[in-house]
Structure 1
Amino acid sequence: MEHVVVESLWKRFGAFEASKDVSFTVGQGKLIGLLGPSGGGKTTILRMLAGLEQPDSGDIYIHGKRVNDVPPQERGIGFVFQNYALFRHMSVYDNIAFGLTVQRRSKAEIKARVTELLELTGLTGLERRLPSQLSGGQRQRVAFARALAPEPQLLLLDEPFAAIDAKVRKELRTWLREMINRVGITTIFVTHDQEEAVEVADEIIIVNQGRIEQKGTPLDIYRQPNTAFVAGFIGESTVLENVSGLKGFEPEQGDAPAKGIIRPEFVEIGREREVSYPLAAESGVVRASYFRGANWLVEAEVGGTRLYAYRPLEQEPLLPGEQVTVLIHRLYRFNDSEAAMVENGLKVDPMPVHI
């Protein structure tokens, strides 16, 4: 069942169009990432879902009900802000209980629900502390618990880990994924961190300049980007204005010039005779080599273009200024009408290596 349906939302702030014909659906219990560059319109979409902003046109349905004219407090939504927004002079217990108190739940109901959420969020034993006595990660867990307390139908998260240091952020990603699976609540979160979206989300919606570029699973978006923006935004990429000068990617007669996007995993790099399919390879010069833990990320210049390639740690590092052989196995080719993954057309059986 589609839990959230958004149909052709438009939102303007003066002359600025923050949302342009935005449409998408979210299935029941799914964890969805709204991913895109800063200023692309992600938070505006989230705020319209929450009722904190009104769309100029278009419709929002939550659990089958049109909610455009429904006040925020009546939409059945939990909202977690980037800066936690906890009540500084309230204890952890009272922060979590706040929404239930507003709903005039009985003390017994409140105690049972808060106790359940303290356990769910790993905060048992901290209920009497003030927010100032907690770490950043603990404060964010309190914010999650407070949002979940009234048992909302939909959970909205606006850059929930942005104010937390990198190590804790990674731990919270795993925790969030596990918590959402246990609770089963439909969740939409905003992020500009592609690693975060890929690691956490069931599906990703790519937002750019107020429009939806693509929606799909992290794997589908990575392997089959629909637009040049998506291909360039996900992963570490090199954008080429014209791919016709690369070996193995010359256009067929009559084909229009096309742009290309090359990712490091599409490129093989090494010293002479280290690279397979030498007839399809280019000559290049190493400009830099970066240790990445699991491999080297090598920056090389090929015909005036900077490319990036991964090199296994088992192989000797390549040094700046060193002449290398560069084989581009495949690339994304784009023109005005289509986008496609293209394999190097010159690859044949590798030449035997004589030692």
Structure 2
Amino acid sequence: MAYDNKNPYQRVNDGVYDSYLNSAIMLPTMFNMVGQVNIPSQFENNVFNNTETVQKALFLDITLVNNTTINNGNTLVGVNDNSFTLNTKVVLSLFKNWNKIQFEGTNVNNLTITLKDNNNTTIRTINNGEDLTNYNITDDEIKIAVTFTGSCTITNIKLQVNTRKLDNNSGVELSSSQISGLSHWQSQIEEDIENIVVNTNSIGDNSVTTSKIANGTIIDEDISSSANINLSKIADDNIQTLASKKDDILTVNQYGFKNTNLMLTVLKWRSISVSQLQNSFTIVNVLPIAPKNVIGLWSENARQTSDRALINTGANWYVSNNNKDVSFRIYQDSIHTFAWDFFMLSTK
């Protein structure tokens, strides 16, 4: 019988061709999957055997041995110091490691679970239902030794394994119409987003804080004319306050721009007493956020009067990459209050 490459389906009494098998194997080699077995419900007879014989459940061979609990077939009932062991063998060519072992029932916290290899050497003691993936237990044959520290009734045991992906080159292509429930996911996501939008009509002037807003800004187009919000509290659409700092003389504000890594730093120096600064000096830890790469620095006199202090005063500053310290060079020709604005454009 020749292989029909137009019909990949196998019929009763047809030969099992390797081409059929390879097509079936191809799909699981593209995914990392989690396989789960529930016992005793997935044993052929749906109960635990009373004899220490191998029982098959999907891709696992399991033998209940050294059991001192009461075996009711569909439950294992034990008290303090009772115990049993599940000798478990994975019959799966793509087995990678163990994912989870979970006992269900009543008082399952009264169980101590120890994993041993085929030579009875302890691998580790685990918590019930914990994620075992990071432990990378790759033994395809393990012994699950269970000891009771109190009364407990086990009604179900979940055994999960991870499979390994062989093929990183091939892919699976599905159209949206082939994925059941996709439209429901989309509508549910849209509904969830709508539920977190703040209704500005019902927010009072003093009740809006940046901690209540995801990115610390309110977009002015989202606020209707009837909203009771002071417009001075609304940030520009494209600029966000990243950090600020203030002391008696220096005020620092640092701003970020949406969709860029640029940062604008504005430092305002406002003296509270007269001075005549004529030197260079460094002040440490001035900036809340250190610039990653400084692009440009500039400054300007902030005095509003046309006096000698405005004309015969000069100042500039310097900031190093990845540094919060600031160096100033200031010259005052006469004694007066010093008011100067310093600006820096950098990446953050």
Give the TM-score taking structure 1 as reference length: 0.23
Question: By percentage of residues, which structure has more strand?
Answer: 2
> Looking at both structures, which has the greater relative contact order when contacts are Cα pairs under 8 Å and sequence separation is at least 6?
1
Whose radius of gyration is greater, 1 or 2?
Answer: 2
Question: By percentage of residues, which structure has more helix?
Answer: 1
